[in-house]
Amino acid sequence: MKTFENDFYKFVNKLKIGEHFSLSRFSDGELRILQNKKLRIAKDQIIIGDHINNNLHLKISQNERKEYNPENDKWFHDELMEAFTFNMDGYYKGLSCRCCLSGKHGMTANEEFEWQVKLSGLDKNDEHLTWSNIFLNGNYIAYMEHILPYFWNYDIIYVANKAADFSRIPFKKNIKKIFNVGENCMINDFHLVNQIKEYIDKNNIKNSLFLFSASSLSNILNYQLYKHNPENTYIDIGSTLNPILGFPLDRRYLEGFWGGGSLEDLQKVCIW
């Protein structure tokens, strides 16, 4: 039976022994795009379909903002669906878990979880399915202690927002290349997919670690690049290093760890 902790240490061990893999985390924003619902994540507002939330606990920084319009951006839905339904040894898909889904968008949390599992084409106990929050909440302290140190073992290619400040990144010397993205990068910077493939081929990149902090574009990169060259490791690390990169504490788990806020999210053990 899967547990939040055991799945986390599965990825720790892969980094420890140098086993190549790709971890693509389909969080609630990606879930709404897969459902082809209008999505807008702005500084002080979230819109999902017809549901509008103006009562945000924290303001959303520019690197986290995105917008999906089903009328204009259906092509991205199709790309994301391809990434979500793809299956390959070493390609891991993080799902939104029952305890973190709101149940406010047409299905209960349990129904949405089961919908994701069915769409993935895998059994829910398959090792290639995991939590989209696998590095967050109750696993975040362990992430900082047990995942981060292994970054020093690799040459790193980093994809992050152009406003990121890399001067304080502790493994800075390991970073061999940075690809910058801007706001709503899943739509505006999609060209980076082929650009990074060309970079891999031209420079014969192998046994390197690709870190993605590029919103929903990360999911496409995880899929496309691993399929293109499985001799590297590709991880969607999302917002986990945002405070080091100079971004505000706009997630509760970050606020708890870095800002002395509530420890509630840091103690949360997500369920399957």
pLDDT number for residue 61: 67
Per-residue confidence (pLDDT) for residue 263, from 0 to 100: 94
Q: Which pLDDT score, from 0 to 100, does residue 141 have?
A: 98
Average pLDDT for the chain: 93
pLDDT tens-digit readout, 42-74: 767 777 766 666 666 666 666 677 889 999 999
Q: What is the mean pLDDT of residues 218-236?
A: 98
Q: What is the edge-to-edge ordering of all strands in the sheet holding 51-53?
A: 51-53, 46-48, 39-41, 66-68
Interstrand relation of 51-53 and 46-48 (parallel, antiparallel or unpaired): antiparallel
Within 8 A by CB and 6+ apart from 60, the residues are: 41, 42, 43, 44, 46, 250
What are the pLDDT digits (tens) for 141-155? 999 999 999 999 999
In whole angstroms, what is the distance from residue 192 CA to residue 179 CA? 8
Q: Quick one: pLDDT band at residue 133, thresholds 50, 70, 90?
A: very high
pLDDT on residue 39: 87
Q: DSSP letters along 7-44, please?
A: HHHHHHHHHHHT---EEEE--HHHHHHHTT--EEE-SS
Amino acid 106: pLDDT: 80
In whole angstroms, give the CA distance from residue 185 to residue 235: 17
Average pLDDT over residues 227-231: 98
What would the DSSP string read from start to end of 180-201?
EE-TTHHHHTTTHHHHHHHHHH
The domains of the chain are located at 4-35+74-267
pTM of the model: 0.95
Q: Are 36 and 71 in contact (CB under 8 A)?
A: no
pLDDT in tens, 163-217: 999 999 999 999 999 999 999 999 999 999 999 999 999 999 999 999 999 999 9
